[in-house]
Amino acid sequence: MISGAPGSGKTWIALAIAAALTRGRAPVPGEPLELPVDPCTVLYASMEHDSSEIIHPRFARLNGDPARLVVLRGAVSTPSSSLNLRDPSILEDALQRIQARLVILDSFHSSSAAGVDLHEPAQALPFLESLGRLAERHRCCILLVCHLSKRGLGRPPLRSQGSIQISAALRTEFLAGCSPDAPSQRVLLQVKSNLGPLAPALSYKIDPAGFFWTGRSKLTLEEMLADRPTGAGLPKRKFAGEWLYQYLQDGSQSQFAVETAAERDGVCIATLRRAKFDLGIRSAKDGVKGVWYWSLPMAVDQQSPI
């Protein structure tokens, strides 16, 4: 499972892993594989992102093999017809047909919300066991993408939107995020492994050109979850700019959503609007709803958002 707060780049990471495996490459450049890997098929079930707007364009930027990426039809749909993993027959049928070696459920809570209450261990454990049996039958890896709250302390499972039983049932777990002191410096940390020692922390960046691994990081879990105000040590305007740059990485957001999230994360609205000017953030009004949307400019300095 990859866990992280909204805007941390979880979907980018999942797609980067998928793209590499469809080409037979190591998921992270420069990190060796124990055994050679043949190009494999990936089954991607997304309940939050449209395949034509998010999944396929990002996958193409990551140089994945489009013939080996299968997006589960109907995953992005209305609540009444969303994927219900209490009855995983849809995944079973897809795996029988395409023999995928990697299955990505993005996001985990959205995919199961229609059929399983993940806050109840009596429902969560049988559900996870059924996914485990599915993986064994089809000799594949199932990667869950999980949302965490933006704020809060404690080990990642304690902050997730589900039962701690989920973490206990995992073979390996990663946390995607950043230090409160450097919101633009993102890191993928392995926080649990039943298969061997923990892997080194890996840094990555997301900019208008796409997603890039940038090497190993010394950031620790304790530093990532430090009990101090978000952005401590940064000038207020610089922090507001980095926060806004990160928040808009996944696409345009309504002004109301941006300002609500900023207040929640301790960003002054007046400072946020000054940072908006610094970044050249675009504002566009929805002609139907009359709502203003903010988005990053087409070209932004790839080295720094400020």
Q: Is the pLDDT at 25 greater than 80, yes or no? A: yes
Whether 122 maps to a domain, the answer reads yes
Q: Is the pLDDT at 51 greater than 60, yes or no? A: yes
Model confidence over 63-93: pLDDT tens digits? 999 999 999 865 443 343 455 555 677 888 8
Model confidence over 234-279: pLDDT tens digits? 678 888 888 888 888 877 888 988 988 887 777 888 889 888 888 8
Range of the domain at 16: 2-224
Task: Write down the residue that tokens 């009444």 correspond to.
Answer: 80
Do 190 and 83 sit in the same domain of this protein? yes
Do 164 and 287 sit in the same domain of this protein? no
Type of residue numbered 182: A
Query: Which of 199, 224, 249 marks a domain boundary?
Result: 224
Q: Is the pLDDT at 34 greater than 80, yes or no? A: no
Question: So what's the pLDDT on residue 181?
Answer: 64
Give the global pTM.
0.70
How many whole angstroms separate alpha carbon 62 and alpha carbon 125? Answer: 35
Do 215 and 255 sit in the same domain of this protein? no
Give pairs for 68-71: CB < 8 Å, separation 24+.
68/22, 68/39, 68/40, 68/41, 68/42, 69/18, 69/19, 69/22, 69/41, 69/42, 69/44, 70/41, 70/42, 70/43, 70/44, 70/94, 70/98, 70/100, 71/44, 71/45, 71/46
The CATH number of the domain holding residue 248 is: 1.10.10
Whether 231 maps to a domain, the answer reads no
Model confidence over 142-181: pLDDT tens digits? 999 887 755 443 444 444 445 566 777 888 999 998 876 6
Type of residue numbered 8: S
Q: Is the pLDDT at 229 greater than 50, yes or no? A: yes
Type of residue numbered 54: I
Do 167 and 60 sit in the same domain of this protein? yes
Q: Is the pLDDT at 102 greater than 80, yes or no? A: yes
Mean pLDDT of the chain: 79
Do 49 and 169 sit in the same domain of this protein? yes
Do 245 and 272 sit in the same domain of this protein? yes
How many whole angstroms separate alpha carbon 177 and alpha carbon 185? Answer: 8
Do 206 and 269 sit in the same domain of this protein? no
How many whole angstroms separate alpha carbon 169 and alpha carbon 238? Answer: 40
Assigned token pair, 205: 């960046």
Do 58 and 145 sit in the same domain of this protein? yes
Q: Is the pLDDT at 7 greater than 60, yes or no? A: yes
Exposed/middle/buried for residue 32 (C-beta within 10 Å: 0-12, 13-18, 19+): exposed
CA atoms in the 13 A half-sphere facing the CB of 205? 15
Do 216 and 289 sit in the same domain of this protein? no
Look at the chain and report how many structural domains it folds into: 2
Question: For residue 107, is the peptide bond before it cis, meaning its omega torsion is within 30 degrees of 0?
Answer: yes
Whether 99 maps to a domain, the answer reads yes
Q: Is the pLDDT at 50 greater than 90, yes or no? A: no
Task: Write down the residue that tokens 């701690």 correspond to.
Answer: 164
